[in-house]
């Protein structure tokens, strides 16, 4: 009599299946939030790099708002977000200062 020697796998419990479903949902939400944050920061940085002061001024508040929201949603740590905001603000202030010096000089 020939018997098959298939390895028996234990069935996944319902709680494990639920965890898998929740993880997939949270991953999708986190990916969306992270993407929104990165896109906004790229827009702001490119405006500064191009020297477009008006565009940078219009993007500063929304960018900081997206960073703050990413803290609340757990995408960024509070200190990391504060560091990003500070660096973006410094870049913006430097651009404004350069523009005012060029206009005066």
Question: Are 44 and 63 in contact, with CB atoms under 8 Å apart?
Answer: yes
Domain locations in the chain?
17-104
Give Cα 22 distance to the centre of its chain: 21
**Three-state secondary structure of 56-102:** HHHHHHHHHHHHHHHHHCCCCCHHHHHHHHHHHHHHHHHHHHHHHHH
Euclidean distance between CA atoms 105 and 95, whole angstroms = 15
Closest to 57 in 3D by CA, of 24, 86, 96: 96
Strand, helix or coil for residue 58: helix
Question: Are 63 and 81 in contact, with CB atoms under 8 Å apart?
Answer: no
pLDDT digits (tens, 9 = 90+) for 39-87: 999 999 999 999 999 999 999 999 999 999 999 999 999 999 999 999 9
Instruction: Give the pLDDT band (50/70/90) at residue 91.
Output: very high
- pLDDT recorded at residue 87: 96
CATH architecture, domain 17-104: Up-down Bundle (1.20)
- pLDDT recorded at residue 102: 86
- pLDDT recorded at residue 88: 96
pLDDT digits (tens, 9 = 90+) for 2-44: 666 778 888 889 999 999 999 999 999 999 999 999 999 999 9
* Token duo for residue 40: 């906004």
- pLDDT recorded at residue 22: 96
């Amino acid at each position: 009599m020939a018997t098959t020697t298939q390895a028996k796998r234990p069935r996944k419990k319902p709680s494990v299946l639920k965890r898998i479903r929740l993880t997939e949902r949270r991953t999708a939400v986190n990916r969306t939030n992270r993407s929104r944050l990165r896109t906004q920061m790229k827009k702001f940085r490119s405006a500064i790099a191009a020297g477009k002061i008006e565009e940078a001024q219009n993007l500063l508040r929304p960018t900081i708002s997206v960073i703050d929201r990413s803290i609340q949603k757990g995408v960024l740590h509070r200190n990391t977000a504060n560091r990003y905001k500070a660096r973006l603000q410094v870049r913006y202030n430097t651009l404004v200062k350069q523009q005012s010096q060029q206009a005066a000089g």
